[in-house]
Structure 1
């Protein structure tokens, strides 16, 4: 694990919501972060799909941590705004949120994200389907 990954992992591991969702940090590289969340009945909405709140939460975090990979050492990020488009019902055994930096300045980062739904693992597993897209602005802040 390199310094960048350790820095992101330390912040990620401090988030109670990610632990509640069963989410885990699976990839950290300059400008991109991936977060995996297994489906669980406790994360469903009334039709049995993964709830939009859970999907939005993991992609917001993936976008925020992607921005943090480009932030000054010692800073953190908070979300200033985001827009999420849901393309289809979130049906799958696990969901992978990918956040990517579009532009990082001194105070703000503009990022995009997507959430991929993965069917059950195995030889006949269908290709992952994009279930949500996000556009977000993250703000670099000094932690207190």
Structure 2
């Protein structure tokens, strides 16, 4: 039986963009992954909000890693489609992307994710994603 926490942690650590954004892998459970992002000036757009691209990246990664936790042995995952709803400006002291598997199939897995922002002790949903993730056989 594979260790999903170790597998996701190794993949997360190997992903350069996660390091560039300053993200942290918070938790890994079967069908659910949490990724944190602390905002910095380097991640903002012209109005001082965290850029939608940074939020979309952590949403996509949370979905992908959630799908990875339920993928068959010998398979990796790739996003094939997603939709994002940006619900409010991304102003927070900390962001948490929570990715969850909705339905895992042999070939495709459907996931949802939300980014929750915490500011002055108050939490609000900032963005939502629905994603389709493909199981791809690893190359020998």
TM range, smaller chain = over 0.9
Structure 1 alignment gaps of length 5 or more: 120-124
State the alpha-carbon separation in 2 of the partners of residues 74 and 10 from structure 1.
Answer: 15
Counterpart of 1:143 in structure 2 is 138
Structure 2 alignment gaps of length 5 or more: none
Q: CA RMSD in A?
A: 1.1
Residue 25 (str. 1) matches residue 25 (str. 2): yes
The alignment covers a number of residue pairs equal to 138
Q: Deviations over 1:10-46 (max 9, x none)?
A: 1111111000000111010011000001100000000
Aligned to 1:133, the other structure's residue is in SS state: strand
More strand by percentage: 2
Q: Deviations over 1:48-94 (max 9, x none)?
A: 00000000000100000001111012311110000000000000111
| Regions of 4+ moved over 3 Å | none
State the alpha-carbon separation in 2 of the partners of residues 23 and 74 from structure 1.
Answer: 27
- Give the TM-score of the pair, scaled to structure 1: 0.93
- Give the TM-score of the pair, scaled to structure 2: 0.95
